[in-house]
Amino acid sequence: MRRRPGGLEELLGEIGSCRVCVERSQGAALPHEPRPVIRASRTARIAICGQAPGTRVHACGVPFLDPSGDRLRAWMAVTREEFYDGTRVAIVPMGFCFPGLDTHGSDLPPRRECAPLWHDRVLAEMPGLELILLVGAWAQRWHLPFMRGAGMTATVAAWREVTGADGAAMHFPLPHPSWRNNAWIKRNPWFEVELLPALRGAVRRALDAGPAPPAGPVAPKEVAAKK
């Protein structure tokens, strides 16, 4: 996707004031004020593409500040400081705003309006990306269309095939680090024995390389629109 003249700063400004899911929603409108939560920098080497903020992230504006985040950091073998170093790590979920809860109290899926509108445009503004973590089925379906229909287990199991770099950013499909996937992790021991060491090596190489040379003027930036 072509980069825009106004660059990442302008794009993040537009996202910060986005009200599409309230004013032009597809189906039911977002049941609360939008609060996009995204971190992006032109110098980022790693992008973490998850699902959408939950209630806690919606309240505090800091992504992965929960037990799932702790587990994801353990999978990556990074400290909190490294994880939240916006010069090297971007956090770009498939839906930027908390989508609300279903009748059972579970998080709704990412808003369908969000990714087609913003996702690829944000990634296009980070030319130094080397590694894209696809955390959960929503990110995998978007980034690996040839795996659509295969299901999350088959997609993660194919990690060696989909991480082929070919000069572009490497994709690492991962399950969501929620406790809900504890049984899945037990059933698939290759995930911890084979995939995680490879992931940790790739993450360490990207982090140790430092911030990517910026293609334009930038500082790390996060969007968490005021409530």
Amino acid letter, residue 133: L
Residue 211 and residue 105 in contact, taking contact as beta carbons nearer than 8 Å: no
**146, two tokens:** 């040839």
Q: Which of 97, 133, 212, 218 binds ligand SF4 (CB under 6 A)?
A: 97
Least gap, CB of 60 to ligand SF4 (angstroms): 17
Cβ distance to ligand SF4 smaller for residue 95 or 220: 95
Piece of 11-19, 56-64, 71-79, 136-144 that binds ligand SF4 (CB under 6 A): 11-19
34 binds ligand SF4 (CB under 6 A): yes
Piece of 59-67, 83-91, 110-118, 166-174 that binds ligand SF4 (CB under 6 A): 110-118
Q: Which of 209, 201, 191, 221 is nearest to 71 (CA)?
A: 191
29 binds ligand SF4 (CB under 6 A): no
Whole-Å CA distances, 127 to 130, 132, 167, 226: 9, 12, 12, 28
Whole-Å CA distances, 135 to 49, 97, 143, 175: 6, 17, 11, 6
Least gap, CB of 171 to ligand SF4 (angstroms): 22
Q: Which of 35, 207, 218 is nearest to 129 (CA)?
A: 207
111 binds ligand SF4 (CB under 6 A): yes
In this structure, what are the phi and psi dihedrals at residue 58, rounded to the nearest 5 degrees? -60, -35
138 binds ligand SF4 (CB under 6 A): no
20 binds ligand SF4 (CB under 6 A): yes
94 binds ligand SF4 (CB under 6 A): no
Q: What is the dihedral of CA 191, 194, 195, 200, to 10 degrees?
A: 120
114 binds ligand SF4 (CB under 6 A): yes
Piece of 89-97, 138-146, 163-171, 193-201 that binds ligand SF4 (CB under 6 A): 89-97
